[in-house]
Amino acid sequence: MIDSIPIAVEFTRIQSKTHRDSPVASGGLELLFSNQRKHQVALPASNPEGTPSTVGYLVKWLCENLIKDPRKEMFVLDDSVRPGILVLINDADWELEGEEKYELQANDEIVFVSTLHGG
Amino acid sequence: MKVDSAVEYLRSLNYCVNYEPHPYHLSPEKAISFFEQYDLVLDCTDHPTSRYLISDACVLTGKPLVSASALKTEGQFIVLNNPPRPPGDVSGGPCYRCIFPKPPPAETVLSCGEGGILGPVVGVMGVLQALEAIKLLTAKPPPTDLDCAMDLTADEVPAPVEQARPTMLMFSAYSSPQFRSVRLRSRRVACAVCSAQATIDRQSLTSGSLDYVAFCGVTTPTNSLKPTAQVTATEFSQLPTDGSNVLIDVRDETQYAICALPGSVNVPWTGNADAWLEEAIRVGAVAELGDGRDRYFVCRLGHDSQLAVKAVMDNVLEGRAKDIKGGFRAWREEVDPSWPDY
């Protein structure tokens, strides 16, 4: 019985206007995650309801276990990843893989990409 | 105007190209008739408002869109609406709304002006756009059976025509590898502009009924303090410099290194009030129990300093915290014209 699955989680430097005054703002999503871009997490293989862990559960789990900052709304809005963040499952848009319902496999790579708008 | 500088520079690089400046802001009303004159569009703008408008207009006029964005040391590159089939045709390439149906909250959007940008990063993204534009403009139409029969010699097998797969190329100067290509979804079944259920049509744009600014949201200036908790830059400049007050500068380290007032203490605002206050107490900038001295707070424009004042007033026994209204911009305008304008 496997009780946890290894998952690689990465955050591209997600920018936000946490400092509206600074042209060299450093407040990114990785700040919420101990200022670290890449994380190896051991995710419980099933959620509390006993069904296999999905990406939706991973997002919830990250909020509860990995975010060290009260500003969770920079990552999640209305129980889903906030608009402007693209979720990649093994280098594919998660919408190709079933979005939140995708069941995670060992060594899957999940990347949260911030949309850039600058030009 | 920027557009004139661009034309002048490009003409010096290659005078054989016909450059047409359009010296006005792209509006929904003008976008359709404007895009119709061209074969393809490159989005080099810097805000979600223009990115949604350009994508919508490309779908409605049937033009492929080569889109790139960049910030700091990173860039993103996508070819949208390629092939540019009419709305409702699922074999067309996805549009910006298929990939990003909802705009990000306005307060999370960081422009190059605020976030900074490294020149060569924009250069990389621009060159990728130029290459894709050449490929699209010179692409042969898919071969017909007759073409194949004519070209085919005994041993040659015609290469299958590769269907363009929607991808996003991400560039990150400091990552290894620097480039990463990710697969994107195809057209969204319920897309507001390119699907059979589209709610946005040419009329929505030409009539001006679609408000892209409202769609993307706007940030409102911080104005969270009572007037008694603020002083003007002039008033601050008249205070004694005998140590009876402390100036706390909440800009980040880089800005503080560019210019700072003598005797000020730098405690950069990070957005997290609790963490900031802890740091301010740790470095001795703020006294947890009060020491009788007034604290003044300053930043570049006067937003973050208000948040810092609020953090102090909400949490520390000592309530004598005041914000310098308008920050260093006001300082430059009212007190010291030689202060760097950055």
Residue B112: active-site member? yes
Give residue-wise pLDDT tens across range B179-233: 999 999 999 999 999 999 999 999 999 998 888 988 888 776 667 788 888 999 9
Question: What does pLDDT average to over chain B?
Answer: 88
Lowest mean pLDDT among B101-110, B157-166, B296-305, B312-321: B157-166
Cα–Cα dist B3/A117, whole Å: 20
List pLDDT tens digits, range B87-105: 999 999 999 999 999 998 8
Residues B275 and B324 in one domain: yes
Of residues B40 and B270, more confidently modeled: B40
Q: What is the predicted pLDDT for the residue at A16?
A: 45
Determine, for residues B185 and A113 on separate chains, whether the beta-carbon distance falls below 8 Å: no
* Mean of the per-residue pLDDT values of chain A: 81
What pLDDT band is residue A59 in, cutting at 50, 70 and 90? Answer: very high
What mean pLDDT is predicted for residues B69-92? 94
Residues A116 and A5: their CA atoms lie apart, in Å, by: 31
Q: Is residue B146 part of a domain?
A: no
Does residue B148 lie in a domain region? no
- Nearest CA distance, A15 vs chain B (angstrom): 6
Instruction: Please give the tally of structural domains in chain B.
Output: 2
pLDDT of residue B11: 96
Angle in degrees, CA B221, B223, B225, rounded to 5: 160
Which residues on B lie below 8 Å from A26 (Cβ)? 252, 270
- Together in a domain, B276 and B183: no
- Name chain A contacts of B269, Cβ cutoff 8 Å: 18-19, 21
CB-nearest to B182 from A85, A88, A116 is A88
Residue contact A31–B270, C-beta within 8 A: yes
Domain membership flag for residue B36: yes
Residues B314 and B176 grouped into a single domain: no
**B16 and B89, same domain (yes or no):** yes
Please give, one letter per residue, the 3-state secondary structure of chain B.
Answer: CHHHHHHHHHHHHCCCCCCCCCCCCCCHHHHHHHHCCCCCEEECCCCHHHHHHHHHHHHHHCCCEEEEEEEECEEEEEEECCCCCCCCCCCCCCCHHHHCCCCCCHHHCCCHHHHCECHHHHHHHHHHHHHHHHHHHHCCCCCCHHHHHHHCCCCCCCCCCCCCCCEEEEEECCCCCCEEEEECCCCCCCCCCCCCCCCCCHHHHHCCCCCHHHHHCCCCCCCCCCHHHEECHHHHHCCCCCCCEEEEECCCHHHHHHCCCCCCEECCCCCCHHHHHHHHHHCCCCCCCCCCCEEEEECCCCCHHHHHHHHHHHHCCCCCEEEECCHHHHHHHHCCCCCCCC
Asked if B259 and B270 count as a contact pair (C-beta separation under 8 A), the reply is: no
Closest Cβ–Cβ partner in A15, A21, A111 for B115: A15
Residue B290 shares a structural domain with residue B212 = no
User: Chain B residues with CB inside 8 Å of A77's CB?
Assistant: 105
Q: Is residue B151 part of a domain?
A: no
CATH of residue B12's domain is 3.40.50.720
Decide if B168 is inside a domain: yes
User: What percent of chain B stands above pLDDT 90?
Assistant: 60
pLDDT (0 to 100) of residue B142: 65
User: B321 and B191 in one domain?
Assistant: no
For residues B78 and B209, membership in a common domain is answered with yes
Do B199 and B246 belong together in one domain? no
Q: B169 and B34, same structural domain?
A: yes
For B267-281, what is the mean pLDDT? 87
Q: What pLDDT, on the 0 to 100 scale, is given for residue B156?
A: 55
CB atoms B71 and A86 under 8 Å: no
Say if residues A15 and B110 touch (Cβ distance below 8 Å): yes
Q: What is the CATH number of the domain that holds B275?
A: 3.40.250.10
**Residue B5: φ, ψ to 5°:** -60, -40
How sure is the predictor about B41, in pLDDT bands with cuts at 50, 70 and 90? very high
> In one letter, which amino acid is B188?
R
Domains assigned to chain A = 4-114 (3.10.20.30)
Distance between CA atoms of residues B209 and B63, nearest Å? 22
Q: Which residues contact B81 (CB under 8 A, 6 or more apart)?
A: B55, B58, B59, B62, B63, B64, B65, B92, B93, B94, B95, B194
Determine, for residues A116 and B76 on separate chains, whether the beta-carbon distance falls below 8 Å. Answer: yes
Q: Is the pLDDT of residue A22 over 50?
A: no
The residue type at A76: V
B191 and B250 together in one domain? no
Same domain, B200 and B245: no
pLDDT score for B146: 59
Residue in the structure block whose two tokens are 């969270």: B224
Q: Do B219 and A17 touch (CB under 8 A)?
A: yes
The span from the CA of B330 to the CA of B333, in Å, is 5
Q: Are B9 and B63 found together in one domain? A: yes
Alpha-carbon Rg for chain A, nearest whole angstrom, is: 15
pLDDT class of B38 with cuts at 50, 70, 90? very high
pLDDT tens readout for residues B227-237: 888 999 999 99
Q: What is the mean pLDDT of residues B153-168?
A: 66
The interface pTM score, or ipTM, of the predicted complex is: 0.83
B147 within some domain? no
Query: Minimal CA–CA distance to A115: which of B272, B108, B176?
Result: B108
Q: Is residue B339 part of a domain?
A: no
Tell me whether residue B144 is in a domain: no
Q: Is the pLDDT of residue A19 over 50?
A: no
Per the structure, the complete domain to which residue B236 belongs is given by 227-334
Averaged pLDDT, B103-108 = 82
